[in-house]
Structure 1
Amino acid sequence: MVRIAISCLQRNLHKRPSASMLVKVFDGLMDLEPVAEYSFLNSIHEETPQEIIPVASSTIIPSVLSGPR
């Protein structure tokens, strides 16, 4: 799963797997190419929030979260 996630984070969009390719990978019909370029890790910046402002929220009941059936 981590290998799949890493392949989806490639900076070059032509190296990212398509949705149909991912379905084949999940079904076990094909393998992904190994990722050799990890420059996307340099673009992840952790920012510390200056101030945390509490926001009032209402409780959502499970039937709303699951959507229509």
Structure 2
Amino acid sequence: MNGEETPIEAGGSYSGEIILTGVSVRIIFTSFAIKTDNLLGQIRRTGIYVRENGIAGTVQQIDLRI
């Protein structure tokens, strides 16, 4: 990485290679509703990782209502 913001950091998706230096094996239960007037989904759990350049990120389990 050259220090520029990637689409994943801007809230998009990223299909390139990301090198991780650490992944937490501890998962935190983070019950959070995603809704407008109706329930759209539920965030269930969150995990944390650290990339090679020291930037931390999260991985979440999101249950979507279809």
TM-score grouping bracket, smaller chain normalisation: under 0.3
* TM-score relative to the length of structure 2: 0.20
Normalized per residue, the structure richer in strand is 2
Normalized per residue, the structure richer in helix is 1
* TM-score relative to the length of structure 1: 0.20
